[in-house]
Structure 1
């Protein structure tokens, strides 16, 4: 993975903040309650992978499919918020690494107990 320029990092941070706000406040779908954006990854200038995690027991595929169906709405809101003419397409993906990190934390907590 190549290092990001400060401008690109700032742009991705702003996109993450705005997407989180949109999911929280503007979407009334109960499948998105508890969805967290864990990271964003720019794939050239054409795509942004948005890695998400849901803290409840939910069907990962259905959640990702629903988010990807909402992607044009999110892209429209991003275009209105940023001065750039062309914004990358958004693709939502499930962050399985986040689940694994929770398992590691649980193992560490178990080691602390006498």
Structure 2
């Protein structure tokens, strides 16, 4: 994995903060209000930003939500570039954030494994002890 340089990390953090504020304050489309920007990755030349998001109380993988965000990207790009004082504003690519879902799946697997293990141990305790030789 390529090493992230401090400038790209700093710009990614600024993009996340600024986009979150713009979505909250400037965008009038109510369908975008429950969107939370979870993290942003920026290309080394700062020309592209991959914006990971979650839909609060909804499905982040809903194609309609992604289409709405992709349409808003053109509107958001100019003000974002001016707010960050970048010569060229990055192209915005919206992607649903799968970290929360992945974490929930792992938690579910761990819970199931612990429950299955506890059931096996209950069965072991219920079995009569065999005489030791």
- Secondary structure class of the residue paired with 1:68: helix
Ranges in structure 2 where 5+ consecutive residues have no aligned partner: 115-133
After TM superposition, the structure 1 stretch with the greater mean CA deviation from structure 2, 7-16 or 93-102, is: 93-102
Aligned-pair CA distance for 1:47: 1.4
How do 1:15-94 residues align onto structure 2 when only pairs under 5 Å count? 15-45=15-45, 46-58=47-59, 60-94=62-96
Sort the Cα spacing of 1:109 and 1:23 in 2 relative to 1 into closer, same or farther, 3 A: farther
CA distance in 2, matches of 1:57, 1:69: 19
Aligned-pair CA distance for 1:43: 3.3
Larger radius of gyration: 2
Sort the Cα spacing of 1:106 and 1:24 in 2 relative to 1 into closer, same or farther, 3 A: farther
The TM-score normalised by the length of structure 2 is 0.71
- Secondary structure class of the residue paired with 1:9: helix
